[in-house]
Chain A
Amino acid sequence: MLALEDGTVFRGKSIGAAGETAGEVVFNTSMTGYQEILTDPSYRGQIVTMTYTEIGNCGTNADDVESDHPQVAGFVIRNDSRVDSNFRSQKGLTDYLVENQIVAIAGIDTRALVRHIREQGAMKGVLSTIDLDAASLVRKAQQSPGLVGRDLVREVIPERLREWNQKLFQLEQSESESPSAADRETHVVCLDFGMKWNIARHLFDQGNRVTILPGTATADEVMDLNPDGIFLSNGPGDPEPLDYAIATIRELIGQRPIFGICLGHQLLSLATGAKTFKLKFGHRGSNQPVLNLETGRVEITSQNHGFCVDEASLPDCLEITHRHLNDDTIAGVRHKSAPAFSVQYHPEASAGPHDSRYLFDVFQQLLTGGVSQRG
């Protein structure tokens, strides 16, 4: 049973682990990529509803992951598949959910749920296989902590520094040799707030040495690694409580080229003095159009965020480079005087289109002393 804080209740069948879980109920409109979504650390604390109705058809595999285990607080779908039909599949989705202790529900009118969230805004909910008493579950939903003001990043950041050495997954075997560690001349240090692995894979594929630091690291700790560039990762929840990260970033701006994605974008903006606000129900999907203001071209992007940088609060040092076409919100900014830029969406895709991959090239140019950002 799924109960929302406003008293709405949905009854379906359990397709995951037994148990009870609370989180913010959100929806994702991607038609593919449920495994990437499940394992995206940005979904920490959220019960994710897939709007597409047939989920699990391709099973799961070891490659299509964005972290080492599923991160969502719960999973809601219309219809599960009892077979997994794909040449790469290793395990059915329901087995995967059970094994990873994810509480999940199928068989509910997900469109009704989505329309409800669209009208009322994202809300707290509880998903349970134990407590099937509607009133009790609604109460639990109301009492659950929610996202605002909460530091969810602490739950997903790595414990210690690690060197990254995994390449992007390729369906076709390519002959190109990956440069050896010694040949990797540029060094990128990532501040990990719950970083999707595909970002690190991209940075690594660009020929960089990639070091990942917990998002709690200080500016000195970053600079001690002598990076050529600094990357600010995505991550879950509300950016405003992350004072430590904001302080670190504020110190780093100007010292080395900086590139931020999603939460990293919000943190970079906050570090320059901007404010963020919570969107009614967020942007979560693989079909989100973003206009690159410099080229006039549109990128279809993957997005997953509930918070957004407030345009009215934008300091003079930042300029807007990208806008979301659906609601005109800020989708990308650049520092006018320092080599720093960030985007609200996910150029690393996974799940989603590859239209914005060029941003990694832009960052690479900054690392290697190239000129300014070009789309």
Chain B
Amino acid sequence: MPRRTDIQKILLIGSGPIVIGQACEFDYSGTQACKALREEGYEVVLVNSNPATIMTDPGTADRTYIEPLTWEVVAKIIEREKPDALLPTLGGQTGLNVAMDLDRNGVLEKHSVEMIGAIPSVIAKAEERDQFKMAMEKIGLEVCRGEVVHTIDEAKRALENIGLPCVVRPSFTLGGSGSAIAYNRDDFESLVRNGLVQSPVTEVLIEESIIGWKEYEMEVMRDLDDNVVIICSIENFDPMGVHTGDSITVAPAQTLTDKEYQRMRDASLAVIREIGVETGGSNIQFAIHPETGRMIVIEMNPRVSRSSALASKATGFPIAKIAAKLAVGYRLWELPNDITKKTKACFEPTIDYVVTKIPRFAFEKFPEADSTLTTQMKSVGETMAIGRTFKESFQKALRGLEVGAFGFGCDGKDLWGTDLQPDEDEIRSRLARPNPDRVWYLRYAIKHGMSIEQIYELTKIDRWFLDQLSQIVEMEEELASIGSLDKIDDKTLRLAKQYGFSDRQLARLLSSDELEVRANRKGRGIQATFKAVDTCAAEFEAYTPYYYSTYEDEDETPAKQQTKRVMILGGGPNRIGQGIEFDYCCCHASFALRELGIESVMVNSNPETVSTDYDTSDLLFFEPLTTEDVLNICDRIQPDGVIVQFGGQTPLNLARGLASAGVPIIGTTVDTIEAAEDREKFQKLLHDLGLKQPANAIARNMAQARTESKKVGFPALVRPSFVLGGRAMEICYDTAQFERFVAEAFIVAEGQPVLIDSFLEDATEVDVDALCDGSNVVVMGIMEHIEEAGVHSGDSACVIPPHSLPESVVQEIRDATHAMAKRLRVVGLMNVQYAVKWIDNEPQVYVIEVNPRASRTVPFVAKATGVPVAKLAAKVMTGLSLPELGVDSEPVPKRVSIKESVFPFRKFAGVDIVLGPEMRSTGEVMGISERFSMAFAKSQLAAGVLLPEKGNIFVSVNSRHKNDIPELAQKLHDLGYPLLATPGTAACLEKAGIPVTTVKKIAEGSPNLIDYLKNEDVSLIINTPNGKGARTDEGRIRAAAVENGVPCITTLAAAREAVAAMQALRTEDYDVEPLQDRFGNQH
């Protein structure tokens, strides 16, 4: 059957901001779907609140709405666009939930919108535990024994049948949020309470524990004719008990015989048929008892997922694209396999390599959070590596993780053989409790002499995997015993490379250095070969140039043609501070190169991204971003240029090494990049240009820090140098804080100096992105932060255009930006952070820092202005001038655009949510409107901060804000909100004549705020902190707010804007407008 002709316009819902459990993978799937549907001639309407996505580029869909993802807002879009169909299965859990809400509220019926791919009853059958369980029982498949409960009493009764330990899972939450294992009755009760709150339908499942069972996933696709194929099987290295998003996973399944694999395949087919997912991809999870083989169905996602993105990248099969085509009526066998061209999409990919995915965590940002890995996902990103063997892919994945490791130990991060080498007790405890570092402790256990059986007993990690790790350690020990590069024979050296050892590891084991190892092995003819990912294990010729490195005989990279080749280095795994924004920039660089007829080559290791879609660039190398791996690619493909300024800090860190090895870095020079980071050079540059900088100093030890602090004064900002994302950055108001934070900064700095800056209190921070071609400069966006300076720029909300700065200040900032860009001879993008402080009623502009590279705000600027900033930057880097590109003036934003940050606090119970200089947000949303107040209201709604229409508002501010609070409180009172306050703040309000109810401090007993929260008597909290920390009274208040799902605003500036937005919402409703209407179809 060809495509459906009875529908013309299709609505797609994206997944919103990057949060734990929902990351770039849905930009990848949504973008693929948009392309696939438009290719078929459909008009695509897209809604997503996340501006840092390729899918929200004005050229990706026909009508693009960057709007909050609530059913009410999407209903307005439906009203305006009148789509024929809604495809709900490509926007993650968020997209699916919004679609279900639209259905539940009658919106789809009212506007005759058909859900395609999966209909509401099917989604409910897959997602609602009891329905799913009944369906599985009907087809004779076992599920976990469990019961669905809605109250704590029901839960207690259920526990009698199920017993401890058991798993508590709230229904309809992202990434299994709120799921955990209860080992005792106390845990059990608190987990159930928490789960009932977190579940949007107040429903929790209590299940038998299958911790330690083998865990598998199957990626399944089905078409309207009931043709079903398995795209990929995935085996979890970490057994049941750890969320699959937090597990190391491997494709294909490694330890199943065909009999067991086919049983799982049969079950997968039966599940998708019984649930009734009409078309598209689904993910089904299974557990298998390691000793008896008993198989249990865990769950099914009736949509594309993180795993399906992984499966697509692991096999080369574009699941989302095919899912979109199936949804409009195609049959699997009617669609071609892009990679082979000759064969059809109706087949099961087979692979001739091993894929390993390793999650990346960010617990260093949340020191108070429990780092035990459970059934609730906690990782913020992932890296994937491909090798011919498991050993190779595993070691490649470990170095792709970018945590300072260059494989399985024997590198800078290795504790073995150091003073910190763990003893057996510590090893045992770290093995028994799943945690982000367990993988390293597996090695220590092997080094310590523990047997595979002993390790298995503690971890239940399959013996096959453990043996593989042992083989790596044995090789390591053999290499160490050889001890020198001169003595090692070719065969052993080649085998070591085939085991995935990096030159860095070999250098350590063979008493050499990385470059010497490299030169030596190349002299012996031991160099990386590249093989294609082709879906078919070489049975057919592949036309899609998607490669990975290995050490084999034959290399498959295509010879260089006449056209120029330019390589783009990606950002690696998502982490806090470096995520989808940089992937967006890399994709744009690739698109720009294509437009110029230059062959684009992408290098990245993040399977979630659009950049690692084989369609994005002319050549794709799925490789870790290390100097060695990048040089290996350069050896083969001989690029004419390499772009390092788009992938965040990752490629910048490689720039010097690559440049020294003769790799042609294009754009801003490495010297310039380093000059901007070098404090002294930078200070001189500012001095020459007559620009101001806050007083600052460098300290190499505590004594020096004390001396320098006298010059800088208080408040002071301290931070370790050469560390990203504001790690260990703190503001000190007094000597005691200074002593403590500087000491901590020295620990994090690991031998590097600590920087001390005068902190500009109550200053307004401004971010500027500018384009420069070496001589011409055009400012692309000037963003005023909502929160005052001191909150990390990545965590702060910001607005384009600036809404409170006088034009003279904006002009001063513009001029300073021009001057610095020209002086630094920036070629490409530059980001500058300024602080504006009013001193004696005169605004003073200070330069905080300059980064001559693409910044996190580039996609936001592009969406606010309609100018494809990153693309232009890439073109400039290839040698075109701004006048040649027709870029001569600063774009004038047509609306007010506000970026708001989104935080993972709900995943980390008990963590203090106060914003500070250390970045902790995972994603961002954008609110656009004609007026600031409405744009702000939208940004809050999109970020999940529900500004209440009524209900009690709790106010508690620190002493510095006592003078400012009455005005704000008065407005709230006028709007009719009853106020609650702690005694200090209450006194201050009463003095101003504002009615307020005094609430006790927690230490003073009940009724305190926690009681109000539990009784759902608070709808908003405004709390500016005196101090930070989960153990303080206010820290507990904020943690309780998160736990109870009550919005909590922690800065006065944000509170002011929130009140203005609440006021605005009284008189007007949310407006929606597509980007195309705002900008015209200029892309």
Contact = CB atoms under 8 A, between A and B. Distances in A.
Given A32-B261, A171-B263, A291-B333, A325 B344 contact: yes
B538 interface: yes
A153 B554 CA distance: 37
A86 B537 contact: no
Given A64-B257, A81-B464, A114-B537, A289 B388 contact: no
Given A53-B388, A53-B389, A85-B464, A326 B257 contact: no
A173 to B, nearest CB: 11
B467 interface: yes
A349 interface: yes
Interface stretch (A14-22, A131-139, A350-358): A350-358
Contacts of A35: 257-258
B1017 interface: no
A111 B346 CA distance: 23
Interface in B242-260: 252-260
Q: Bin chain A's interface residue count.
A: 35 or more
B343 interface: yes
B638 interface: no
Given A52-B537, A291-B333, A58 B350 contact: no
A53 B356 CA distance: 14
Contact of B463 (A36, A83, A285, A327): A83
Contacts of A350: 258
B291 A87 contact: yes
Interface in B474-511: none
Interface in B304-354: 331-333, 342-344, 346-354
Given A85-B464, A86-B257, A353-B265, A79 B347 contact: no
Q: Is the interface of A mostly helix, strand, loop or mixed?
A: loop
Interface in A323-375: 325-327, 349-354
A302 to B, nearest CB: 9
A287 B349 contact: yes
A269 B626 CA distance: 58
Interface in B449-470: 452, 462-464, 467
A57 interface: yes
A142 interface: no
A58 B789 CA distance: 59
A85 B463 contact: yes
A231 to B, nearest CB: 22
Interface stretch (B149-157, B185-193, B221-229, B646-654): B221-229
A300 B552 contact: no
B536 interface: yes
A162 B836 CA distance: 94
B985 to A, nearest CB: 63
B262 interface: yes
Interface in A143-190: 169, 171
B388 A79 contact: yes
Contacts, number: 170
A29 B262 contact: no
Contact of A79 (B226, B346, B389, B538): B389
Interface string B375-398: 000000000000011100000000
A63 B552 contact: no
B292 interface: yes
Nearest to A11: B553
B464 A57 contact: yes
Nearest to A52: B352
Given A85-B255, A118-B539, A326 B342 contact: yes
B531 interface: yes
B419 interface: no
B290 interface: yes
A234 interface: no
Contact of B344 (A31, A51, A289): A289
A108 B227 CA distance: 37
A54 to B, nearest CB: 6
Contact of B389 (A29, A78, A289, A326): A78
A115 B554 contact: yes
A110 interface: yes
Nearest to A89: B257
A337 B255 CA distance: 48
Q: Is the interface of B mostly helix, strand, loop or mixed?
A: loop
Given A83-B464, A285-B539, A57 B353 contact: no
Interface string A189-210: 0000000000000000000000
Contacts of A115: 538, 554
B227 A297 contact: yes
B258 A296 contact: no
A323 to B, nearest CB: 10
A33 interface: yes
Contacts of B1007: none
A85 B257 CA distance: 10
A95 interface: no
Given A350-B258, A351-B258, A83 B351 contact: no
Contacts of A130: none
A169 B260 CA distance: 11
A241 B452 CA distance: 54
A52 B257 contact: no
Nearest to A63: B259
Contacts of B462: 85
B396 to A, nearest CB: 14
A297 B389 contact: no
B344 A88 contact: no
B216 to A, nearest CB: 12
Given A64-B257, A87-B292, A118-B538, A298 B227 contact: yes
A109 interface: yes
A296 B233 CA distance: 26
B350 A31 contact: yes
Interface string B514-536: 00000000000000000100001
B350 to A, nearest CB: 4
A339 to B, nearest CB: 28
A52 B351 contact: yes
A321 interface: no
**Residue picked from A51, A351, A354, most chain B C-beta under 10 Å:** A51
Interface string A277-317: 00000000111110100001110100000000000000000
Contacts of B349: 287
**Residue picked from B227, B263, B349, most chain A C-beta under 10 Å:** B227
Nearest to B349: A287
Contacts of A289: 229, 333, 343-344, 346-347
Contact of A286 (B259, B290, B348): B348
B352 A110 contact: yes
Nearest to A119: B541
A87 B260 CA distance: 11
Nearest to A169: B259
A64 B258 contact: yes
B266 interface: yes
Interface string A214-243: 000000000000000000000000000000
Contact of A287 (B258, B292, B332, B347): B347
A30 interface: yes
A118 B538 CA distance: 8
Nearest to A296: B225
A112 B555 CA distance: 9
27 contacts: A29-B539, A31-B252, A32-B261, A33-B258, A51-B352, A51-B537, A52-B351, A58-B256, A82-B467, A83-B467, A87-B290, A88-B257, A111-B531, A111-B537, A118-B541, A169-B259, A288-B347, A289-B343, A289-B347, A291-B333, A296-B225, A296-B331, A298-B333, A298-B346, A300-B348, A352-B258, A353-B348
Given A53-B353, A298-B229, A300-B347, 10 more contacts: A32-B261, A54-B254, A57-B254, A81-B467, A87-B290, A88-B293, A169-B259, A296-B331, A297-B227, A325-B346
Ranked nearest first, the 3 interchain pairs of A and B with the lowest CB-CB distance are A33-B258, A51-B537, A85-B464
Interface of B: 225-227, 229-230, 233, 252-263, 265-266, 290-293, 295, 331-333, 342-344, 346-354, 388-390, 452, 462-464, 467, 471, 531, 536-541, 552-554
